[in-house]
Structure 1
Amino acid sequence: MSRTSTRRRVLKVLAALVVAWLVVDKAASVVAPEPGVGHWRSAEGFASYRAAYDAVMATLPAPTRVHDVATGYGSVRVYEWAAAPDAAGAGPPVVLLPGIRSGAPMWGENLTHWSGRRTLYAMDAIGDAGLSTQSAPFTSFDDTATWVEHALAGLGLDRAHLVGHSFGGAMAATHALAHPGRVASVTLLEPVMVLRGLPASTYLWSALLFLPVPQSWKDRALAEIGGVTVEEVRERTPMSVMIDEGSRHYAAVTQVPRTLTDDEWRSLSVPVRIDIASDASLAGGDAAAARARALGTGPVTIWPETTHSLPMQAAEQLGPELERYWASHDG
């Protein structure tokens, strides 16, 4: 099996981990009413995570620059891949917002299709595992829109195309609603909860992940959530190691995305496209797509034979398609 095929199979499992930890965070927020800030539990834990993070970053194209941008909620780690000198007039840059626990390294499959064509920025989210740091608590998920806006301003970006996957998709939608001024377009890849809440079965399976049950039960739960086999859950790669290290050593205080109202969707003043997986979708599948189409948000695509790890699984097709979409909204 090729390295790319193996990586995409494992990313299906990471989708299960993403939603599982999203559910855990929601439960924790109910139990702990006082907001805090995300932090590393120990220096040793951070060192272990950093080694795993660096191992994944080493598989990505080398960034042109690395930024640590100050915001009202902490410092954002941002990687920049500058457009090639002969790509003059490439249009506004693209800003990539990651899924929970995934950080900037999650975009490895996509960067190879886009780097050089226009300037790209990939961020580690504040309040989540990665190299960003949080200094002020979030009081609602809408606060993520504020730190994203601060980061865009700090990078000096007057206009940018936002692309978000999963949790990052929810961030991108929320930011575009609150701060449309810098947004050229928004691409939402399997955005969680903003169109439709998670199914009840997801919460039931996720409950096993923080109960004192055998590991074999937890492996089965992850398989059911991610639409994969137990064997795939147990497979280890640099990316899965990084996710595990972040989950073990980073104490996140994450606000859960909310489902946007019909009026909020209709009030979006920027171009929006939505891409949804055909199988094991965590964005809401056919029902979410039907709602988006009824609201007239813009292009809505259901990608066949994909799961929540859509941007990695469909990287080859998404590469040129998103470039065409961005170009149509550069002006």
Structure 2
Amino acid sequence: MGDTSRRGGRYGRVLADLAGAAAAWLVIDGVASVAAPRLRVGHWRSRAGFESYRAAYDEVMATLPEATRVHDVPTGYGTVRVNEWAAAADAPVTHRPVVLLPGIRSGIPMWGANLTHWIGRRTLYAMDAVGDAGLSTQSVPFTSFGDRAAWVEQALAGLDLDRVHVVGHSFGGAVAAHHALDHPGRVASVTLLEPVMVLHGLPASTYLWSALLMLPVPQSWKDHALAAIGGVSVAEVRERTPISVLVDEGARHYTAVTLVPRTFTDAEWTALPMPVRVDIADDRSLAGGTAAAARARALGTRPVTVWPRTTHSLPLQVAEELGPELERYWADHDR
């Protein structure tokens, strides 16, 4: 749990928070939605709660390169906040844009460690998810997981983007996979970083640890649960960083609506017409770990990479390696 050889050790609390938020939402809220289904929209519980979250959001964003443009794109489900970093004037015109879909509770700020490797090389669009903490808003309820793919498609159309490379992490990886399945004509390639559920179900241990996060138990118990899910030490869980504060504030003040992604059939995976890349953590994976990687390879997906000494928060941990590797991948599929 406290493996000092793990990559990205300085992100300990962040790794636990991102993994814990994903697990808790998928397991606990998913069970609740089955037990008492109702149509509702994600919303802030109070103005004060939103302002507290917004302060944490702005603090993290202040550490990122300033966006070229900020868009609020209307869709049939709400308004999508999108930050755009335009390509440099001398960037090849053949380079297609990249769209980044975040994990649960983390929004645009989660890409801070990755953006610096790509800004200027090609145009980037990072989105806050509709129905989750962030600066997007939801006005119409989701009735199926396909609606999550639909708001992405509508946002891309609203931005007048023809074909793009899509990258999704965690829950955003599941959304990216569903979008690629439902709207293949918009996608030049898709990169799935620790995508939850679509390749493999959650590990059995995740259900137990996630339950503790939602129960009225001592905080010390919750710290141990976060440590177990995130693959970090309890001491690291108790650290505070700007992005961990952001995730905590989102979990505390935002009521989200869960529609749990489903695991794709073999036929659905092989029907995807665009290049698909899958990146999996070798420790505390919420995507299915080596079993998910083996399934993807058996279905012909290439490349499939299992990153050593990583956890569910893989984009943070391998930002240095992933930056140039994804740039080469996109360049190979810019047609």
TM more than 0.5: yes
1:305 is matched with which residue: 294, 306, 309? 309
* Change over 3 Å in CA distance of 1:88–1:9 after alignment to 2: same
Matched, 1:12 2:15: yes
2:296 paired with 1:292? yes
Q: Kindly report structure 1 stretches of 4+ aligned residues shifted beyond 4 Å.
A: 4-7
Work out which of the residue numbers 209, 213, 219 in structure 2 matches 1:209: 213
Asked if 1 retains the 8 angstrom alpha-carbon contact of 2:97 and 2:164, the reply is: yes
**CA gap 1:104/1:89 in 2 versus in 1, 3 angstroms:** same
Instruction: Show the counterpart of 1:261.
Output: 265
Q: Does 1:190 align with 2:194?
A: yes
Aligned residue for 1:203, secondary structure, equals helix
Match of 1:88 among 92, 113, 131: 92
Residue of structure 1 equivalent to 2:4: none
Alignment of 1:136-285 (within 5 A): 136-285=140-289
Instruction: State the Cα distance separating 1:226 from its structure 2 match.
Output: 1.0
* Matches of 2:216 and 2:250, distance apart in 1: 21
What letter is aligned with 2:13?
Answer: V
Alpha-carbon distance in structure 2 between the residues aligned to 1:53 and 1:222: 22
- Partners of 1:35 and 1:139 within 8 A in 2: yes
Aligned-pair CA distance for 1:253? 0.7
For residues 244-293 of structure 1, the C-alpha deviation after alignment (integer angstroms, 9 at most, x for no partner) is: 11111111012111111111101111110101111111110110000000
User: Residue deviations 1:147-195, cap 9 Å, x none?
Assistant: 0000000000001000000000001000000001110000000000100
Aligned residue for 1:114, secondary structure, equals coil
Code of the residue aligned with 2:295 in structure 1: it is: R
Instruction: Tell me the amino acid that sits aligned with residue 322 of structure 1.
Output: L
Deviations 1:44-71, CA, capped at 9 Å, x for gaps: 1111111111001111111000000011
The answer on whether the counterparts of 2:41 and 2:131 sit within 8 Å (CA) in structure 1 is yes
Q: Deviations over 1:94-137 (max 9, x none)?
A: 00000010101000000010000000000000000000000111
Offset of residue 17 of structure 1? 2.8
Q: Structure 2, unaligned stretches of length 5 or more?
A: 1-6
Cα distance in 2 between the residues matched to 1:79 and 1:154: 14
Alignment of 1:308-327 (within 5 A): 308-327=312-331
Aligned to 2:45: 41
| Greater relative contact order (CA < 8 Å, ≥ 6 in sequence) | 2
**Alignment partner of 1:113: what SS?**
coil
Kindly, what percent of the aligned residue pairs are identical?
75
Check the 8 A contact 1:92/1:159 in 2, yes or no.
yes
Equivalent residues of 1:17, 1:222 under 8 A apart: no
Once residues 40 and 6 of structure 1 are traced to their aligned partners in structure 2, the CA distance between those partners, rounded to angstroms, is 32
CA distance in structure 1 between the partners assigned to 2:334 and 2:216 by the alignment = 52
Unaligned runs of 5+ in 1: none
Aligned partner letter, 1:64 = T
Greater displacement, 297-306 / 60-69: 297-306
Other structure's SS at 1:196 match: coil
Asked whether the 8 Å contact 1:12–1:309 carries over to 2, the reply is yes
The 3-state SS of whatever aligns with 2:174 is helix
Amino acid of the residue matched to residue 31 of structure 1? A
Q: Would you say how many aligned residue pairs link Structure 1 and Structure 2?
A: 328
1:128 and 1:254 in contact (8 A); partners too: no
SS of equivalent residue, structure 1 residue 152: helix
* Offset at residue 298 of structure 1 (A): 2.1
**Deviates most, 105-114 or 306-315:** 306-315
Structure 2: how far apart are the matches of 1:328 and 1:202? 37
Distance in 1 between residues matched to 2:322 and 2:277, nearest whole Å = 12
- Tell me how far 1:6 sits from its aligned partner: 6.0
**CA offset at residue 5 of structure 1?**
5.2
Q: Which moved more, 1:10-19 or 1:105-114?
A: 10-19
Q: Describe the SS at the equivalent of 2:99.
A: strand
1:330, 1:37 → 2: CA distance?
37
Compute the displacement of 1:314 (Å): 0.5
Contact 1:22-1:100 at 8 Å conserved across structures: no
Could you give the per-residue CA deviations for residues 220-251 of structure 1, whole angstroms, max 9, x where no partner exists? 11111111111111110111111111111111
Which AA in structure 2 matches 1:78?
V
Residue identity opposite 2:128 in structure 1: D
1:115 to 107, 111, 119: 119
Once the two structures are TM-superposed, the CA of residue 18 in structure 1 deviates from its matched residue by: 2.5
Task: State the 1:9 CA deviation.
Answer: 2.4
